[in-house]
Structure 1
Amino acid sequence: MSNGSTRAVLTAVAGNSMVTVAKFIGFALSGSSALLAEAVHSLADTANQALLYLGLRRSQREADTSHHFGYGQERYFWNLVSAVTIFFLGCVYTVMHAVEQLQDEHTPELTWIPFLIIGFAFIVEGYSFFVALVEFRRQSREAGKTFRTYFVETRDPTTLAVLIEDAVAVFGLILALAGMALAAYTGSAIFDGVAAICIGLLMGGLAWFLAATNRKYLLNRSDDEVNNVAIRLWQADDKVQHIERVNSIVLSPDDTLLMAEIELREEAIFSNMSDEEIRQAIRFMRKLGEIRHALEEDVSRIAPVTRHIFIEFTTPKDKPDNE
């Protein structure tokens, strides 16, 4: 999944970098607010996708003494930062500039060059969208889900972000082309300015969507699919009497932390044991419970912030025969 996501991100970064330069050149030659909006849009996308790549690289670091479960959530963090970047750089600046241009009644000088740049951008950003779409479809097939279901339930925000951004970029080009064409045909700057405002609002909606998508995974979101699998399998197991609770946290698209408390059936524990062995086993299990409770109380008393403690006992190693 990470290799495909990386390929989609790097393709988008390369494509948007070229398109950004071309659009700013077009704006310098024409003064079109719509073309400036698209230039800022591509600049925001480039910065955003560079942050996505940074998140991908940092999330792949191994667990260490400071981060026992790894750095998987870095991917969600940097995607959230990229959403904020799109909002302020893309939405706020673009709308403010377009409103100012409308107030000044600035009329763009639209020759064939800005329209040629829009066509070039269609090709580059269309290809980037195609790469992201192919990768996203591959991921949905691997997950055994339909495209629509995976779009809603995916835990990989990186490829989804590139896919949505490229789709919005193509739609933004259509708005820019329409605004510039109408401005050139009528000689009125209103159409160019309105197109720029629409592009800015489009980026604002994109930023909100990306922020909401990544926010939920930074709030210790549970993995309902894993929970349901665990509950289904354990309920069907004849050794399980009762499932007390099942908790999970999504750490990254490829990593889920699962915690559970399960009551086992007595016959599963005490089969092939004599009455005396059963009594000893019960005393042993009660002793384990007392030790667990005491260990939890010790930590909670000194560090009351530890509201959730999960202790797993390991089996004592066999002693050598000569001891």
Structure 2
Amino acid sequence: MSSGSTKAVLTAIAGNSMVTVAKFIGFAFSGSSALLAEAVHSLADTANQGMLYLGLRRSQREADLNHHFGYGQERYFWNLVSAVTIFFLGCVYTIMHAVEQLRHDHTPELSWIPFLIIGFAFVVEGYSFFVALVEFRRQAEEAGKSFRTYFVETRDPTTLAVLIEDAVAVCGLVLALVGMGLAAWTGSAIFDGIAAICIGLLMGGLAWFLAATNRKFLLNRSNDEVNDIATKLWQADKQVQHVQRVNSIVLSPDDTLLMAEIELREETIFSSMSQEEIKQAVRFMGKLDEIRRALEDDVSRIAPETQHIFIEFTIPKKQAG
């Protein structure tokens, strides 16, 4: 498990847990829709980051009889679940509550306590954002990419999710502060309600971004960078005549499955053989291809849903004695 990603997630969980309690206390004192929206926002973030940590832990399990390539995609699954949680808990509930408050023209009682809580949240969530930003920059440097490029191309959804969530959290605090400030200044509840709706929409956008980011890796997305590297290396190899096909599947941020079909040069295979040996080798290779196709057809005939079959032959072990 990436220690940097784990630190970013645990920092976010600890910070959001404290901030969630503080915001709900502030809402109890003020009745502010904007502060309730922020409390629900932090609650959703805490639940989300708990799922991120669960995904990190579960993705590290070893391969077994039921999961031959391990559990790496658990990380993407739990990120997707957390996006759904943010959408329904953060976006939908927050907007519904804010609209209801506006309908009843409920004016919040804004003393110094809610503003103090907003300041406390700025410090805690700002620090969490800083930790995630430092870790994300470190990962980008290790990958040899710029921040912007790595932001688009990263296959690690965990640190990216924490970074985006913390950035949205800080933006949400700004909206809450502006809405509450205008409501206190004018005595009108509309600014507080509008701020809450904006925070809800912000969380809706966050949920959509996280869902889209993780969805592509749950649909057997290829690793284009690995494909390009493999293709270039093999095409430059003097033993290779032609690279017919290169396929890959991202199993986790640290694990890519690579499959390829490569045509070798005849002189590479037959350079030290006599004409008779070459004929025998050609017959042997033809026989292997015949066996491979027969084995594939056997499976496809009984299990037609098996659309992609990759068989690798091994050299028979020498008989003892």
TM > 0.5 fold call: yes
- The residue aligned with 1:129 is 129
- The residue aligned with 2:259 is 259
Within a 5 Å distance, the mapping from 1:22-171 to structure 2 comes to 22-171=22-171
The percentage of counterpart residues that share the same residue type is 85
Deviation string, structure 1 residues 45-103 (Cα, Å, up to 9, x no partner): 00000010111100000000000000000000000000000000000000000000001
1:249 aligns with 2:249: yes
- The residue aligned with 1:196 is 196
1:238 Cα shift? 1.0
CA distance in 1, matches of 2:193, 2:297: 65
Gaps of 5+ in 2: none
- The residue aligned with 2:19 is 19
Structure 2 counterpart SS, 1:282: helix
Counterpart amino acid of 1:33?
A: S
CA distance in 2, matches of 1:195, 1:286: 71
1:318 Cα shift? 2.7
Deviation string, structure 1 residues 247-272 (Cα, Å, up to 9, x no partner): 10000000000000011110010011
1:319 Cα shift? 3.2
Structure 1 counterpart SS, 2:65: coil
Counterpart amino acid of 1:135?
A: E
- The residue aligned with 1:6 is 6
Structure 1 counterpart SS, 2:293: helix
Structure 1 counterpart SS, 2:292: helix
1:192 Cα shift? 0.4
Structure 2 counterpart SS, 1:61: coil
Counterpart amino acid of 1:192?
A: D
CA distance in 1, matches of 2:39, 2:12: 15
Deviation string, structure 1 residues 273-302 (Cα, Å, up to 9, x no partner): 111111111011001001101110111111
CA distance in 1, matches of 2:89, 2:2: 28
CA distance in 2, matches of 1:134, 1:160: 11
Superposed CA RMSD in Å reads 0.7
- The residue aligned with 2:283 is 283
Structure 2 counterpart SS, 1:309: coil
Structure 2 counterpart SS, 1:67: coil
Deviation string, structure 1 residues 153-181 (Cα, Å, up to 9, x no partner): 00000000000000000000000000000
CA distance in 1, matches of 2:191, 2:303: 63
1:313 Cα shift? 0.5
Within a 5 Å distance, the mapping from 1:166-185 to structure 2 comes to 166-185=166-185
1:316 Cα shift? 1.6
TM-score by length of 1: 0.98
CA distance in 2, matches of 1:317, 1:277: 22
Regions of 4+ moved over 4 Å: none
Counterpart amino acid of 1:14?
A: A
1:273 aligns with 2:268: no
Structure 2 counterpart SS, 1:313: coil
CA distance in 1, matches of 2:203, 2:225: 32
CA distance in 1, matches of 2:66, 2:18: 40
Count of residues in correspondence between the two structures: 321
1:242 Cα shift? 1.1
- The residue aligned with 1:219 is 219
Gaps of 5+ in 1: none
Within a 5 Å distance, the mapping from 1:278-317 to structure 2 comes to 278-317=278-317
CA distance in 2, matches of 1:149, 1:316: 47
